[in-house]
Amino acid sequence: MANVRIIFYGRGISQNNYSAEIECELECNEIALSIKEGDRQLFVSLDKSTAIRLAKKLRTEINKIQEGGQNV
């Protein structure tokens, strides 16, 4: 399997610039997420079923944004 690392940039606590990043890669059959902002860093490792649930939840929330809905 290819080694792939994807990095997403976004606003962290500071709304003024893109100061945070989420790094996503496959490690030992789990999805490893690294969330960084400034000198703070958090690691989360998700098994396949949990990663699928997270992806579904993200799609649901994206659809709410596209529909102009609020977080209920």
pLDDT at 38: 81
Specify whether the CB–CB gap between 44 and 31 falls below 8 A.
no
Distance CA 37, CA 13 (A): 8
In terms of pTM, does the model score above 0.75?
Answer: no
pLDDT at 71: 53
Confidence check: pLDDT of 72 > 90:
no
Using one digit for the tens of pLDDT, what is the confidence trace for 4-33? 778 888 876 666 677 788 999 998 899 999
